Amino acid sequence: MKRRILALGIAALAFTLAHAQEKSTLHLSGTTNGVSTGKVYLHKFIDKYYTVIDSASIQKGTFSFSTKAVLPEVYGISLGTKDSPYMLFLDNNQVTIKLDSVDQYRNTQVNGSAQHALFVQYKQQEDVKIDQFIKQHPSSIVSVYALYRDFSYRLTPAEIQANIKLLAPALQKTNYVQVLNNLIKTWDKVAVGKQAPEFSAKTPEGTTVSLSNRLGKGYLLIDFWASWCPGCRKENPGIVKVYNKYKDKGFDILGVSLDRTKDKWIKAIADDHLDWTQVSELKFWQSDAVTKYGIRVIPSNVLVDSKGTIVARNLFGEDLDKLLYQLLSK
């Protein structure tokens, strides 16, 4: 299996670094299973967001793009502008797609893109060690994407920097690495022992709440979550349990939601019995607090003391309970 993946990687990286991320004509065509008319939309992936950059008409169930695009790069394809696109790793090769609209494009097939084939292989592996993967594929857009998206929140700033150095020089100039470098700077500002950055957002009722107004009464957990996040909803009962246990002993929570829809946010608060102050800018990942705290995955949290000094990050369940017991028993 390892030999097969390595061989695929060598084929995938046959292009030279001189051709990395240049703008060229995209050769992309395909069929739409069960859809004979309408449009197919091409999206550019930009730091957790997709932006529509082109569309193609469906004629008798077929479509084609010849867009000028940066290659190799991460794109998405969909049948609607508001759909969650099917992720594509595109290169300079001729690419054909069988776009299946059923079940969020899950059965879509992509042929021709060596980069996409490598991405599929990467997602099928278990217990990937990112440094080893990058060493095998130092020039692949898949390597820098995986580091940026799947590993950045698991690694220390020093580990991120070490992995960046393993990437080919051309990839070190990408937006993905720029995001990682900015993230390292942010995490230094919100490390344990540092002062928690100030932020403000509105409650469901429209009242503006600032972090500074919530300090001074004991320990405060800044809890980043969202109604659309399965992991957050799974974690919420444990947070509720800890809150009820310590709320009268000097502990409180400030929920910061990454929701975009107010109604879904309010319903989740009620359904999960989150009986503490909740705020949101309803800006998804573009929230001010998300940027200031370098949040790359949710659920995430930051525990601060009465003066706003960061005591711990990302403690859940028994780990959070144990620390609060120690802190509040003094």
Q: Where do the domains of the chain lie, and which CATH numbers do they carry?
A: 2-118 (2.60.40), 126-189 (no CATH), 200-328 (3.40.30.10)
Residue-level pLDDT at 22: 76
Question: Do residues 309 and 269 touch, judged by C-beta distance below 8 A?
Answer: no
Q: Give the CA diameter of the chain.
A: 73
pLDDT in tens for each of the 330 residues of the chain?
A: 333 333 333 333 333 333 456 789 999 999 998 899 999 999 999 988 899 999 999 999 999 999 999 999 999 999 999 889 999 999 999 999 999 988 889 999 999 999 999 999 999 999 999 999 999 999 999 999 999 999 999 999 999 999 999 999 999 999 999 999 999 999 999 999 999 999 999 999 999 999 999 999 899 999 999 999 999 999 999 999 999 999 999 999 999 999 999 999 999 999 999 999 999 999 999 999 999 999 999 999 999 999 999 999 999 999 999 999 999 987
Residue-level pLDDT at 20: 56
Question: Do residues 310 and 191 touch, judged by C-beta distance below 8 A?
Answer: yes
Residue-level pLDDT at 9: 38
Residue-level pLDDT at 16: 35
* 323 burial via Cβ count (<10 Å: 0-12, 13-18, 19+): middle
**Distance between CA atoms of residues 251 and 244, nearest Å:** 9
Q: What are phi and psi of 304, to 5 degrees?
A: -125, 155
| Angle subtended at Cα 213 by Cα 209 and Cα 214, rounded to the nearest 5 degrees | 90
**Distance between CA atoms of residues 274 and 255, nearest Å:** 9
Listed in order, strand segments (DSSP E) in 262-316 are: 277-280, 300-304, 310-313
Residue-level pLDDT at 21: 62
Size (the chain), residues: 330
pLDDT tens column, 117-149: 999 999 999 999 999 999 999 999 999 999 999
Question: Do residues 123 and 153 touch, judged by C-beta distance below 8 A?
Answer: no
Residue-level pLDDT at 18: 37
**Distance between CA atoms of residues 295 and 285, nearest Å:** 8
Residue 197, CA atoms < 13 Å, CB-side half-sphere: 15
Contacts for 167-171 with beta carbons within 8 Å, 24 or more apart?
Answer: 167/134, 167/138, 167/143, 168/17, 168/20, 168/138, 168/139, 169/17, 170/17, 170/18, 170/20, 170/21, 170/139, 171/20, 171/138, 171/139, 171/141, 171/143, 171/144
* 54 burial via Cβ count (<10 Å: 0-12, 13-18, 19+): middle
Residue-level pLDDT at 104: 86
**Distance between CA atoms of residues 227 and 267, nearest Å:** 8
